[in-house]
């Protein structure tokens, strides 16, 4: 009897000690897993911070030069500020030219740095970013009205995206445009995921808007510091060592996330994936590892050496020459980038594809809301539908026709000009050699269309 009681007591004691051991094992597994994630995460964040700091240095120099030239009539100071600005822009290009779709980075760089501060801008999908070339628009432009141009088109962008983009655009301090040419598409209100762009793809750490915002912050801080030092102690030498960057502070402009539902699984997963740099930037792990050993990616571009100038003349502005054929990770030609345009070249034989489409009321409502914001802000709006190779697509339910009719009705209702280059056959939308697929023009197509577009716009916009 006593032996049985002792055995029962020992079993209970073993069970009691077994539970804590199990919990400890579970805790150890969780801690090990967290450590395995935390270490690569810290390494990736450190790599990204160092990379951003190297470009911020050029921005700081531009800010210091701008502060010295501010309010000055010294031609040398003004020229040095211009040179510093161009050098900062080139440093930015060299660092990010091989990223996925370099022109995303270029669009946001212009938004914050305002290199051109264009008063006539283009927005729209990839049909815009690869189809409207400001270079040829400027060549054919009569000059009447003194307009300047920039292409803010972004691949995969939909009306909901541009609602958030416009918030960033205004918060960046970009000068209010005289005219926004909205390059609309019959498919832009698709709700089936064809137009995939989400504002978080640009505002997340190491993404285009995040980087451009922090470069501008570094430039402004350097300018303020240089100006303060010039006022307080102009006879002393300015500090040569730049302050350490602070990319960890995410005090960025609002991107509209506060308006989301309290909890959405898709939204939560997206934010989680974006917040984990080792996951979000997994394609850059090889670069991170190479950086530990001081192995830099091979540079394939050169800058033209300026000619020696006489001592009594101002130093010339640098002219950067990029080797032809440089492409980013998606095959877009980054050396062709010009004021938001980047050429995309692919072989296309003129074949026909069936294109699915599912209309979204939410996207249409976002579109009309955005257009009305532009008008309320006193901005002239013009609709343009970029040419497509019309014979190259068959659309479910004839939604291409229905959508264009809806766009035309809305344009008439709002008294907005609508230049639809697919409404009738023309020499561009019937020639497949101008295209990389049925919807995206190649460089030749973009050149031809841009020359036509500016002539039509000059007949259309308000003087």
What pLDDT is recorded for position 247?
A: 45
Average pLDDT in the chain: 83
Q: How many residues does the chain have?
A: 463
Sequence-separated (6 or more) residues with CB below 8 Å from residue 106: 93, 337, 340, 342
What pLDDT is recorded for position 45?
A: 76
% residues pLDDT > 70 (the chain): 77
Query: pLDDT per residue over 342-367, tens digit each?
Result: 999 999 999 999 988 889 999 999 99
Q: Indicate the fold that domain 37-231+257-301+314-460 takes in CATH.
A: Rossmann fold (3.40.50)
Output the pTM of the full model.
0.82
Query: pLDDT per residue over 160-204, tens digit each?
Result: 999 999 999 999 999 999 999 999 999 999 988 888 898 988 888
Q: What is the DSSP string of 37-82?
A: HHHHHHHHHHHHHHHHHHHHHHHHHHHHHHHHHTT---HHHHHHHH
Sequence-separated (6 or more) residues with CB below 8 Å from residue 218: 56, 59, 60, 63, 245
Ranges 262-266, 315-319, 429-433: which has the least confidence? 262-266
Q: Reduce the DSSP state of residue 299 to 3 states and report it.
A: coil
Query: pLDDT per residue over 59-106, tens digit each?
Result: 999 998 998 888 888 888 889 999 999 999 999 998 888 888 888 999
Model confidence at 278: pLDDT above 50: yes
The mean per-residue pLDDT over the stretch 416-431 comes to 95
Boundaries of every domain in the chain: 37-231+257-301+314-460
């Amino acid at each position: 009897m006593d032996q049985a009681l002792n055995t029962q007591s020992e079993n209970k004691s073993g069970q009691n000690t077994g539970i804590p051991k199990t919990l400890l094992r579970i805790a150890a597994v969780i801690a090990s897993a967290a450590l395995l994630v935390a270490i690569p995460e810290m390494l990736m964040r450190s790599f990204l911070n160092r990379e951003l700091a190297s470009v911020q240095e050029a921005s700081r120099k531009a800010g210091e030069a701008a502060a010295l030239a501010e309010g000055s009539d010294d031609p040398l100071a003004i020229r040095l500020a211009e040179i510093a600005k161009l050098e900062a822009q080139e440093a930015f290009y060299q660092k990010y030219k091989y990223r996925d779709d370099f022109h995303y980075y270029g669009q946001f760089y212009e938004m914050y740095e305002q290199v051109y501060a264009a008063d006539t801008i283009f927005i729209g999908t990839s049909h815009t970013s690869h189809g409207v070339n400001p270079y040829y628009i400027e060549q054919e432009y009569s000059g009447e009205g003194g307009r300047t141009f920039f292409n803010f088109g972004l691949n995969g962008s939909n009306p909901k995206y541009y609602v958030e983009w416009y918030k960033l655009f205004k918060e960046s301090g970009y000068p209010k445009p005289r005219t926004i040419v909205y390059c609309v598409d019959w498919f832009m209100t698709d709700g089936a995921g064809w137009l995939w762009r989400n504002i978080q793809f640009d505002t997340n750490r190491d993404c285009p808007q995040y980087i451009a915002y922090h470069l501008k912050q570094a430039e402004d801080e350097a300018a303020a510091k240089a100006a303060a030092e010039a006022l307080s102690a102009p006879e002393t030498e300015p500090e040569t060592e730049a302050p350490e960057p602070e990319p960890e502070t995410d005090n960025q402009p609002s991107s509209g996330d506060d308006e989301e539902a309290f909890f959405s699984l898709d939204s939560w997963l997206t934010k989680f994936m974006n917040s984990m740099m080792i996951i979000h930037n997994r394609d850059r792990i090889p670069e991170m590892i190479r950086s530990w050993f001081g192995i830099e990616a091979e540079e394939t571009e050169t800058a033209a050496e300026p000619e020696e100038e006489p001592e009594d003349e101002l130093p010339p502005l640098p002219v950067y020459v990029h080797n032809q054929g440089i492409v980013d990770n998606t095959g877009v030609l980054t050396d062709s980038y010009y004021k938001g345009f980047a050429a995309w070249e692919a072989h296309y034989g003129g074949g026909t594809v069936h294109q699915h489409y599912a209309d979204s009321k939410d996207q249409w409502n976002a579109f009309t809301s955005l257009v009305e914001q532009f008008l309320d802000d006193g901005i002239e709006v013009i609709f343009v539908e970029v040419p497509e190779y019309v014979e190259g697509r068959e659309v479910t339910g004839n939604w291409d026709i229905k959508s264009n009719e809806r766009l035309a009705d809305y344009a008439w209702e709002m008294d907005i000009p609508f230049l639809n280059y697919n409404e009738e056959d023309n020499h561009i939308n019937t020639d497949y050699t101008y295209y990389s697929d049925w919807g995206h023009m190649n460089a030749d197509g973009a050149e031809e269309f841009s020359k036509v577009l500016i002539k039509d716009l000059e007949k259309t916009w308000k003087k």
